[in-house]
Amino acid sequence: MTYSVRFLPYNVSVKVDDNTSLIRAAMDAGVHINASCGGEGVCGKCRVLIEKGNVEGGVSEKLSVEDREKGYRLACLSEVNSDLVVRIPVESEIDTSRLNVQAGSRHTAQVLYADIDELRQDGLFIPPVEKIYLELPPATAEDNQSDVTRIINHLCFKHDEHHLTMGLDLIRKTPEIIRQGEFKITVTIVRPVRKDGKNEIVNIEPFDTSDRNFAIAVDIGTTTVYGQALDLHTGKVLSEHGEFNPQISYGEDVISRIMFAEKGDGLEILHQKIIEIINKIIDRIVKKAGIGQHEVTTITLAGNTTMTQLLLKINPSYIRRDPYVPASSVYPPFHSSQIGIDLADHTIALIYPGVSSYVGGDIIAGIMASGMYRSSELTLYMDIGTNAEIVIGHKDWMVCTAASAGPAFEGGGVKFGMRATKGAIEDFSINPLTYEPMIITVENKKAKGICGSGMITIAAKLLETGVIDSRGKFNQSLDTPRIRKTDDIWEYVLVYKENTQIDRDITITEPDLDNLIRAKGAMYSAALTLLEEIGMKISDIERVILAGGFGSYVELQSAITIGLLPEIDPSKVTYLGNGSLLGCKINSLTNALRRDVAKVVNMMTNFELAATHSYMDHYMGALFLPHTQLDYFPKVKARLEKLRK
Amino acid sequence: MTYSVRFLPYNVSVKVDDNTSLIRAAMDAGVHINASCGGEGVCGKCRVLIEKGNVEGGVSEKLSVEDREKGYRLACLSEVNSDLVVRIPVESEIDTSRLNVQAGSRHTAQVLYADIDELRQDGLFIPPVEKIYLELPPATAEDNQSDVTRIINHLCFKHDEHHLTMGLDLIRKTPEIIRQGEFKITVTIVRPVRKDGKNEIVNIEPFDTSDRNFAIAVDIGTTTVYGQALDLHTGKVLSEHGEFNPQISYGEDVISRIMFAEKGDGLEILHQKIIEIINKIIDRIVKKAGIGQHEVTTITLAGNTTMTQLLLKINPSYIRRDPYVPASSVYPPFHSSQIGIDLADHTIALIYPGVSSYVGGDIIAGIMASGMYRSSELTLYMDIGTNAEIVIGHKDWMVCTAASAGPAFEGGGVKFGMRATKGAIEDFSINPLTYEPMIITVENKKAKGICGSGMITIAAKLLETGVIDSRGKFNQSLDTPRIRKTDDIWEYVLVYKENTQIDRDITITEPDLDNLIRAKGAMYSAALTLLEEIGMKISDIERVILAGGFGSYVELQSAITIGLLPEIDPSKVTYLGNGSLLGCKINSLTNALRRDVAKVVNMMTNFELAATHSYMDHYMGALFLPHTQLDYFPKVKARLEKLRK
């Protein structure tokens, strides 16, 4: 159910889902409401008048009895439950036209292949691991072929299945199971990537269990690990769960983890840590989904090259050493128990292949999930994180590279930086006259810090209102106590300590902005360099796909404003969310995809930025907001000029 | 070097290899010399006069000084070293024409594919596991593909190798090995059976080790286990060794072993026992051959269905239960370490597929070694042992069955029965007038007992000379102390105790002959039944191939005389020896064979004798020497009539 909310005096309307908080509705509408605490009703500043319609909640002791009776509510505590007209009290003479600069609408993921029925129609909904129920003719004196031959012949003649094999362990179990099921059995078959490859029978169960076929998808991020349990009949996600990657204790980034792996039993430790957390996630999601561990027939895992090698206990040392060579880009399917994953012996593990030391399986998974390999539009795929991976291309060719963006996008190198968890400032607006902020935090909890997407929006808004200049330096002459110098460092106070969880003023500092500029500069210049290497321009890009846990939160216009993304029609930008996890999910559902994966990996050309002539020049040029060359950003240029007029 | 030996007064010549003992030369010539001890010069009866030429040895205190000076020697101690004329003292008036009934010449194995050069010419000398030396271009900034990709691409573009895969364990080792070898490496590739199947890279070694590629072939018999080490470059057998199957302690035959396997940890024990002895054999043959265990790239094993299932630790219970269903007939290649074989982790084990519970991989191996699957002649393949397997057919079709012959052919159920080891009576002749024997033992040692082939020859000669009748009963009226009744059982004394190793008279008894008749009856009637099932006659058989450890010793004419083999031109009978071991050897040398194996297993139709109508009738009819229906054996009939005239 969606409702319309009209904000006065700006006369701006927005459509929102029911139970959206009024302050988020305002943010979506691009309407500023002073709100300093993040949304728990603590600061009491976000007072609005409900002129038409009703909201759920919004009443607080911060409001006088009189105000309450008049219909005032706190926007952060009010949930939309009907069409509304809401008036925002204007405390001073404000140019409403200046306040009302509509932000780029948020895009939700347009995921190809997400529609299972479409897959079914195309005949592509054939999971890599299938279950087939067989009613075998029982053995007699006239027909006493071996148990395994009986199964294989039946599959061949009755189910048109060919090139079948069975491993020794399963052959050992077959005679008992076939008799336990009175010659009625369910076989689990792993499909090959090549059409004429071998179909491996990996499990046999007595009687009909063909409706119990489940998969697990796991994205192994440097920071977080996510798992999903999938029903292979409906294609639906039954449950999901995420945890921090416990390897963090041994190194924040991939390089420090590789260095740890090089020492003593470091590799073993990091391998064990990731397996343990995967097992914890599996345990959680199978219980939530109400399925047995033995009913999971396949697990698909994707991660960057280092995460993949640590998962598989492969020495990652050469990844960090010139010329940066990974052990392998493709891995064979194997039994997940082989690496200690706590699933049945027959559960098959499928690992997403990678391209290079810094363009790994997570990116390929994202490319597959995005469908860009089937599109004819020239697409820029960006996975934003500490290590930023960039892929450019379409169905005929693809090039890729990776840049070290630094940890700013993930809350690192930022004084009050944090991951996008409860209380992280994720959205921001600023009153261009009073410079008072509007803060929205994750789950509307009292503010605790700033997450990556918050950083981008804050920087963009500060730039738009002239609080900072294109080098990220504060305008020291503005008349607000929020801009101040502490310990010789200029900063802007986002939330005063009484409204925080941490009992300290939460600020954004010039060094924070410096780190952010370097991070976005690395990404943008990587894209520019890649385009230059293949003789194309940034304006040739027809479509942008953003991925990464971070990418799904980023406010698009802000990202363009600071020069992280190229200037492109926002409708041409797609958020993919966790592309790696999505790729794993799709891989679990359709075996056709696995053939495409091999094609994509083969067509992908990797560039090492360090080996190009222009990367450093492009990088230096990108260390401005949005860029030294404003020609790349004509609309941002015009907008900034208009806002500051 | 061969020499001609002429025996007087019979004027029979024979060609023999140098160092052949004179008594064996006489046996080959079909000339009888009284010789009662087996050949160690103990009895002193085999006194012969060297009339021309010289022998090595032959002098004994059993000869008088005078005799020695005249040129008398003991035949059993004399070795042929020149062309000879030898006179055998005739002690009584003997019809020399009757003594001189030439025995069928022994045939040696005509092994197809034994000529490696021929395999090479046909382009078939491609072992299932090959080693290829690669000089890879080292990784650079411009070419930093993954280590595994580098290897696979190089194999693809420089060596035309396709569909390559590599397992996780090997991927783990690759980065170190490739650098240890400075990008010069040797890869070990396992070939698929299907031409378009996957080539698995199973090992990588630094630098060039491609000339060190060895295989092991193992025949797992119910009684004995044989192994050979092979050089995959020359195709030569480097060493071989045999041991008794230690499972014997848990049951003499397959049925009693299956019963043992059904109890408690019986299966585990029998599995461990066979693995232990295989490991012992491997240790012995690799040391003898001067190769390292890690240089063995493949081990091929064949055994009957029960031996195969015990080897692989697969419950054999259903093999002995109606309707006699084995777990599998085909097994996938696997790493030999998976079943505890003491070779490198990368060594691939190949198991010969079988057809049914009683026609196993040893038979298929023999069929492959014999080449009968490529011949257009209708061939009868017999593997003679406790369990007798029979295959009839040619390149277009094959049928098979198995019969329980009982242990008589292997020395069981025979009073002085023993295996064909030192001191076993393996050849025999009898003076038709005096009924004095001529005994030849294995390795010319003092007699200890009778082996299977000895039994056949003894029975045939006793029949020919009328010492026994067609029911295997002694002619009690003959005038010789060697035929006697002991403890109510009639017997013939082969060796008196003073000339034995065991200090007891060695005899052959009526119950011994009874067991032999039942064993040969089972085999012959099995062949007859099989032929009848497919609408053919025994006279349609164009060729006979004998296999089995036993088969290689059997005296052909004797086997026909007692009705074990059908009456056929002896030149059409081939001895294959240990067909199972030979099949394993050939499998190690040419991958082309593995494709044929699959074809052979698929074209083979198995018959269960118990399920036929006629087997019992045929069996009853075969319980005579040679048979109740003498029409099946017209030449034997004529011969017996002539001899007894």
Ordered DSSP codes for A247-272:
GGGG-SSHHHHHHHHTSTTHHHHHHH
**The pair of three-digit structure tokens given for residue B545, joined into one six-digit string:** 């191939």
The reply to whether A313 touches chain B by the CB within 8 Å rule is yes
CB contact under 8 A, A326 and B168: no
Question: Which residue in B has a C-alpha nearest to residue A143's C-alpha?
Answer: B323
* Residue A92 pLDDT > 90: no
Angstrom distance (rounded) from CA A15 to CA A84:
10
Q: Span A58-72, mean pLDDT?
A: 89
Contacts of B194 in chain A (CB under 8 A): 163
C-alpha angle B3-B8-B12 in degrees, rounded to nearest 5: 55
Give B189's strand partners.
B130, B201
pLDDT of A115 reads 59
Angstrom distance (rounded) from CA B357 to CA B605:
13
Give B219's strand partners.
B226, B302
* DSSP assignments along B141-179, one per residue: SS----HHHHHHHHHHHHH---SEEE-HHHHHHHHHHHH
CB contact under 8 A, B328 and A142: no
Instruction: Output the average pLDDT for chain A.
Output: 90
> Using the 8-state DSSP alphabet, how is residue A628 labeled?
S
CB contact under 8 A, A323 and B166: no
CB contact under 8 A, B326 and A140: no
A393: enclosing H helix or E strand: strand A387-393
pLDDT of B29 reads 83
Q: CA nearest A192: which of A206, A202, A182? A: A202
Q: Band of the pLDDT at A549, cuts 50, 70, 90?
A: low
Of A144, A148, A315, nearest to B327 by CB-CB distance is: A148
Q: Span A137-160, mean pLDDT?
A: 94
Give A390's strand partners.
A382, A401
Q: Identify from A151, A169, A328, A338 which residue to disrupt to test chain B contact, counting B C-beta atoms within 10 A and taking the largest count.
A: A328
Using only the alpha carbons of chain B, give its radius of gyration. 28
> In this predicted model, what pLDDT tens digit does every residue of A378-399 receive, in sequence order?
999 999 877 889 999 999 999 9
Question: Which residue in B has a C-alpha nearest to residue A138's C-alpha?
Answer: B323
Strands (E), B304-412: 334-335, 348-351, 379-383, 387-393, 398-404
Angstrom distance (rounded) from CA B361 to CA B305:
7
Q: Span A605-612, mean pLDDT?
A: 89
Q: Band of the pLDDT at A116, cuts 50, 70, 90?
A: low
pTM of the model: 0.85
> In this predicted model, what pLDDT tens digit does every residue of A226-264 receive, in sequence order?
999 999 999 899 999 999 999 999 998 899 999 999 999
| Sign of the torsion angle spanned by Cα atoms A554, A556, A559, A562 | negative
Q: CA nearest A380: which of A388, A453, A595? A: A388
How many pairs of residues across A and B have Cβ atoms under 8 Å apart? 146
CB contact under 8 A, B146 and A322: no
The 3-state DSSP class for residue A175 equals helix
> Using the 8-state DSSP alphabet, how is residue B415 labeled?
T
C-alpha angle B252-B253-B257 in degrees, rounded to nearest 5: 90
pLDDT of B278 reads 98
Angstrom distance (rounded) from CA A421 to CA A428:
16
- Could you say which residues of chain B have pLDDT below 50? 92-93, 95-113
Q: Which residue has the tokens 């593990």?
A: A349
A204-208, A495-499, A547-551, B54-58, range with the lowest pLDDT: A547-551
Contacts of B322 in chain A (CB under 8 A): 141
CB contact under 8 A, A314 and B172: yes
Of A144, A165, A327, nearest to B325 by CB-CB distance is: A144
Contacts of B436 (CB under 8 A, 6+ apart): B34, B36, B45, B430, B480, B482
pLDDT of B111 reads 43
Angstrom distance (rounded) from CA B80 to CA B14:
12
Helix H segments across B6-115?
Answer: 22-29, 65-70, 96-99
Q: Are B386 and B410 contacting, i.e. CB atoms less than 8 angstroms apart?
A: yes
Which amino acid, A375?
S
CB contact under 8 A, B175 and A317: yes
pLDDT of B93 reads 45
CB contact under 8 A, A327 and B140: no
> In this predicted model, what pLDDT tens digit does every residue of A455-469 receive, in sequence order?
999 999 999 999 999
Q: Are B578 and B548 contacting, i.e. CB atoms less than 8 angstroms apart?
A: yes
pLDDT of A551 reads 57
Q: Are A187 and A155 contacting, i.e. CB atoms less than 8 angstroms apart?
A: yes
Residues 148-167 of B with CB under 8 A from A: 148-149, 163, 165-167
Angstrom distance (rounded) from CA A412 to CA A421:
14
The total number of residues shown for chain A amounts to 645
Which amino acid, A134?
L
Contacts of B315 in chain A (CB under 8 A): 172, 175-176
> Buried (b) or exposed (e) across A212-237, using 16+ Cβ within 10 A?
bbbbbbbbbbbbbbbbbbbbbeebee
Angstrom distance (rounded) from CA A107 to CA A546:
10
Q: Band of the pLDDT at A114, cuts 50, 70, 90?
A: low
Burial of B189 from C-beta contacts in 10 A (0-12 / 13-18 / 19+): buried
Residues 320-349 of A with CB under 8 A from B: 322-332, 334, 338-339
* Residue A106 pLDDT > 50: no
Cα–Cα separations (whole angstroms), residue B23 to B35, B38, B76, B432, B445: 8, 10, 5, 18, 13
Angstrom distance (rounded) from CA A105 to CA A103:
6
The 3-state DSSP class for residue B530 equals helix
Give B47's strand partners.
B74
Contacts of A391 (CB under 8 A, 6+ apart): A359, A363, A367, A372, A379, A380, A381, A398, A399, A400, A604
Q: Pairing mode, if any, of strands B424-430 and B449-450?
A: parallel
**The pair of three-digit structure tokens given for residue B107, joined into one six-digit string:** 């045939």
**The pair of three-digit structure tokens given for residue A240, joined into one six-digit string:** 């999901």
Q: Are A240 and A227 contacting, i.e. CB atoms less than 8 angstroms apart?
A: yes
Q: CA nearest A23: which of A73, A60, A61, A97? A: A73
Question: Which residue in A has a C-alpha nearest to residue B138's C-alpha?
Answer: A323
Longest dimension (CA), chain A: 100
> In this predicted model, what pLDDT tens digit does every residue of B383-416 receive, in sequence order?
987 788 999 999 999 999 999 888 888 778 899 9
ipTM over cut 0.90: no
Q: Span A417-444, mean pLDDT?
A: 89
* Residue A317 pLDDT > 90: yes
Strands (E), B472-583: 483-486, 489-495, 506-509, 543-547, 573-577
Of A141, A163, A606, nearest to B323 by CB-CB distance is: A141
Answer left, alpha or beta for residue A508, where phi above 0 means left and psi between -120 and 50 means alpha: beta
Prior bond to B128 cis, omega within 30?
no
Q: Are B494 and B428 contacting, i.e. CB atoms less than 8 angstroms apart?
A: yes
> Using the 8-state DSSP alphabet, how is residue A635 labeled?
H
Give A427's strand partners.
A440
Contacts of A332 in chain B (CB under 8 A): 165-168
